[in-house]
Amino acid sequence: MRREWEARIDSVAAQFVLGEAASVGPAAEALAWIRQEAGREGWDEISRLAARIAERMATSPQWHTEGALAEGLDKLRRAVEAATAGDAAVARKPNELAQDPGLVNDFILETRDHLTSIENDLLTLDREPSQPEALHSIFRSFHTVKGLAGFLEFDSIRALAHEVETILDLARNQQLAITPAVIDVVLESADYLKQEMNRLEAGLSGAQPGEAAPVGGLVARVQSLDRPCSVAALPDPLLPPAAPARTDAPSSSPEPPAPASAAAPPPVPAAAQAPGEKFSVRVDTQKLDHLLDMVGEMVIAQSMVRQDPELAGLRSPRVTRNLTQLSRVTVEVQKTAMAMRMMPVGQLFHRVARLVRDLSRKMDKPADLDMSGEETQIDKTIVEELADPMMHMVRNSLDHGIEPAGDRLAAGKSGRARIALRATHQAGHILIEIEDDGRGLDRDRILAKARGRGLVGEGQTPSDNDIYNLIFEPGFSTAAAVTDVSGRGVGMDVVRRQVAKLRGRIEIHSEPGKGTVFQLKLPLTLAIIDGLVVGVGGERYIVPIFAVQEMFRPTPEMLSSVKGQGEMAMVRNRLLPVVRLHRRFSVTPRTREAAESLFVVAETGGRRFCLMVDEFIGKQEVVIKSLGEGMKNIPGVAGGAILGDGRVGLILDLEGVYGEHALA
Amino acid sequence: MAYDVLIVDDSPAMRSFIGRVLGLTGMEIGERLEAGHGREALEILGRSWVDVILTDINMPVMNGEEFLEQVAARGDLKTVPVVVVSTDSTGTRVERMMSLGAKGYVKKPFSPESLREELERVLEVSHG
Average pLDDT, chain A: 79
Helix (H) or strand (E) holding A420: strand A417-426
Q: What is the pLDDT of residues A116-133, one digit of tens each?
A: 999 889 888 888 887 888
Which pLDDT band, with edges at 50, 70 and 90, does A631 fall under? Answer: low
How wide is the angle at C-alpha A410 spanned by C-alphas A405 and A413, nearest 5°?
A: 70
Answer whether B111 touches A (CB < 8 Å): yes
Given this model, what pLDDT does residue A86 score? Answer: 54
Q: What is the pLDDT of residues A436-448, one digit of tens each?
A: 999 988 888 888 8
Residues from chain B contacting residue A270 (CB–CB below 8 Å): none
* CB A138, CB A124: distance < 8 Å: no
Tell me which chain B residue has its CA closest to the CA of residue A91. B111
* CB B68, CB B97: distance < 8 Å: yes
Which pLDDT band, with edges at 50, 70 and 90, does A98 fall under? Answer: confident
**Does B67 reside within a domain?**
yes
Q: How many domains does chain B have?
A: 1
Domain that holds residue B113: 3-122
**Does residue A249 have a pLDDT over 50?**
no
Cβ pair B60:A273 closer than 8 A? yes
Which pLDDT band, with edges at 50, 70 and 90, does A95 fall under? Answer: low
Give all strands of the β-sheet with A598-604 in edge-to-edge order: A548-552, A598-604, A607-613, A574-580, A566-571, A559-562
Size of interface A-B (CB pairs under 8 A): 86
**Does B73 reside within a domain?**
yes
Which pLDDT band, with edges at 50, 70 and 90, does A90 fall under? Answer: very low
Residues from chain B contacting residue A107 (CB–CB below 8 Å): 13
**Does B127 reside within a domain?**
no
Shortest distance between the Cα of A118 and any Cα of chain B, in A, equals 15
Tell me which chain A residue has its CA closest to the CA of residue B13. A106
Segment A14-21 mean pLDDT: 66
- Do strands A566-571 and A574-580 pair parallel, antiparallel, or not at all (unpaired)? antiparallel
What whole-number percentage of chain A has pLDDT above 90?
15
CATH fold for the domain made of A528-663: OB fold (Dihydrolipoamide Acetyltransferase, E2P) (2.40.50)
Given this model, what pLDDT does residue B52 score? Answer: 92
Answer whether B116 touches A (CB < 8 Å): no
User: Who has greater pLDDT, A199 or A91?
Assistant: A199
Give the C-alpha distances (Å, rounded to integers) separating A424 from A408, A427, A516, A625.
30, 10, 18, 28
**Does residue A245 have a pLDDT over 50?**
no
Q: Which of A173-182, A630-639, B16-25, B104-113 has the lowest mean pLDDT?
A: A630-639
Beta bridge partners of A420: A370, A435
Cβ pair A83:B61 closer than 8 A? no
Segment A29-37 mean pLDDT: 85
From CA A617, how far away is CA A645, in angstroms rounded? 12
Tell me which chain B residue has its CA closest to the CA of residue A92. B111
User: Who has greater pLDDT, B91 or B59?
Assistant: B59
**Does B128 reside within a domain?**
no
Q: Which of A17-21, A145-149, A184-188, A522-526 has the lowest mean pLDDT?
A: A17-21
From CA A505, how far away is CA A517, in angstroms rounded? 14
> B residues 38-97 near A, CB within 8 Å?
40, 58-61, 87-91
**Does residue A434 have a pLDDT over 90?**
yes
Which pLDDT band, with edges at 50, 70 and 90, does A278 fall under? Answer: low
What whole-number percentage of chain A has pLDDT above 70?
83
- Which of A62-71, A527-536, B6-15, B25-34 is modeled with the greatest confidence? B6-15
Q: What is the pLDDT of residues B88-116, one digit of tens each?
A: 655 677 778 888 888 888 888 888 888 88
**Helix crossing, A216-224 with A155-172: angle to 10°?**
10
Give the C-alpha distances (Å, rounded to integers) separating A493 from A474, A605, B52.
5, 9, 63
* Domain A343-523, CATH: 3.30.565.10
Q: What is the pLDDT of residues A371-430, one digit of tens each?
A: 999 888 888 888 888 888 888 888 888 888 899 988 999 989 998 999 999 999 876 788
Q: Where are the alpha helices (DSSP H) in A225-375?
A: 259-262, 270-277, 285-306, 309-314, 317-340, 346-362
Which pLDDT band, with edges at 50, 70 and 90, does A480 fall under? Answer: very low
How wide is the angle at C-alpha A357 spanned by C-alphas A351 and A360, nearest 5°?
A: 130
User: Who has greater pLDDT, A619 or A11?
Assistant: A619
- Residue in A45, A96, A110 closest to B90 by CB: A45
- Residue in B11, B21, B108 closest to A110 by CB: B11
Residues from chain B contacting residue A96 (CB–CB below 8 Å): 20, 24
Report the complex ipTM.
0.84
From CA A186, how far away is CA A357, in angstroms rounded? 14
From CA A342, how far away is CA A637, in angstroms rounded? 25
> Which of A615, A616, A634 has the alpha carbon at shortest distance from A626?
A634
Which pLDDT band, with edges at 50, 70 and 90, does A619 fall under? Answer: confident
From CA B113, how far away is CA B119, in angstroms rounded? 10
* CB A181, CB A66: distance < 8 Å: no
Segment A321-343 mean pLDDT: 86
Sign of the CA dihedral running A568, A571, A575, A581: negative
Helix (H, G, I), strand (E, B) or coil at A429: strand
**Helix crossing, A67-86 with A2-17: angle to 10°?**
170
From CA A506, how far away is CA A389, in angstroms rounded? 11
Given this model, what pLDDT does residue A436 score? Answer: 92
Ramachandran quadrant class, A530 (left: phi over 0; alpha: psi -120 to 50; beta: rest): beta
Given this model, what pLDDT does residue A209 score? Answer: 65
> Which of A60, A39, A118, A245 has the alpha carbon at shortest distance from A27?
A60
Given this model, what pLDDT does residue A543 score? Answer: 93
Shortest distance between the Cα of B114 and any Cα of chain A, in A, equals 8
Q: What DSSP string describes B15-74?
A: HHHHHHHHHHT---EEEEEEESSHHHHHHHHHHS--SEEEE-S--SSS-HHHHHHHHHH-
Give all strands of the β-sheet with A429-436 in edge-to-edge order: A367-372, A417-426, A429-436, A515-523, A505-511
Q: How far is CA A24 from the centre of its chain?
A: 47
Residues whose CB falls within 8 Å of the CB of residue A146, separated by 6 or more in sequence, listed in order: A157, A158, A161, A162, A165, B87
Cβ pair A45:B91 closer than 8 A? yes
From CA A150, how far away is CA A397, in angstroms rounded? 43
User: Who has greater pLDDT, A495 or A611?
Assistant: A611
Q: What is the pLDDT of residues A265-276, one digit of tens each?
A: 444 444 444 444
Max CA distance (Å), chain B? 42
Helix (H, G, I), strand (E, B) or coil at A524: coil
- Residue in A97, A151, A276 closest to B36 by CB: A276
CA dihedral A290, A295, A299, A302 (to 10 degrees): 110
From CA A456, how far away is CA A97, in angstroms rounded? 66
Sign of the CA dihedral running A481, A483, A489, A492: negative
What are the boundaries of each domain within chain A?
A: 2-88, 286-341, 343-523, 528-663
Helix (H, G, I), strand (E, B) or coil at A512: coil
For chain B, what is the total number of helices (H) and then of strands (E)? 5, 5
* CB B36, CB B9: distance < 8 Å: yes
CB atoms inside a 10 Å sphere around CB A284: 8
Given this model, what pLDDT does residue B35 score? Answer: 93
Q: How far is CA A255 from the centre of its chain?
A: 40
**Does residue A88 have a pLDDT over 60?**
no
CB atoms inside a 10 Å sphere around CB A610: 28
**Does residue A94 have a pLDDT over 90?**
no
> Which of A504, A511, A508, A505 has the alpha carbon at shortest distance from A476?
A508
CATH number at residue B69: 3.40.50.2300
Residues from chain A contacting residue B87 (CB–CB below 8 Å): 42, 44, 143, 146-147, 150
**Does residue A342 have a pLDDT over 80?**
yes
Q: Which of A84-88, A196-200, A522-526, A632-636 has the lowest mean pLDDT?
A: A84-88
Which pLDDT band, with edges at 50, 70 and 90, does A661 fall under? Answer: low
Q: How far is CA B59 from the centre of its chain?
A: 13
Q: How many CA atoms lie within 13 A of A108 on its CB side?
A: 18
Q: Which of A37-51, A226-240, A531-545 has the lowest mean pLDDT?
A: A226-240
- Residue in B36, B90, B108 closest to A46 by CB: B90
From CA A96, how far away is CA A17, in angstroms rounded? 49
Given this model, what pLDDT does residue A488 score? Answer: 43
From CA B44, how far away is CA B26, in angstroms rounded? 25
**Does residue A231 have a pLDDT over 70?**
no
Given this model, what pLDDT does residue B106 score? Answer: 87
**Does residue A611 have a pLDDT over 90?**
yes
Given this model, what pLDDT does residue A238 score? Answer: 38
* CB A602, CB A608: distance < 8 Å: yes
Backbone angles phi, psi at A16, to 5 degrees: -70, -30
Beta bridge partners of A539: A536
Sign of the CA dihedral running A397, A399, A401, A404: positive
**Does residue A111 have a pLDDT over 60?**
yes
Residues from chain A contacting residue B13 (CB–CB below 8 Å): 103, 106-107, 109-110, 148
Given this model, what pLDDT does residue B126 score? Answer: 61
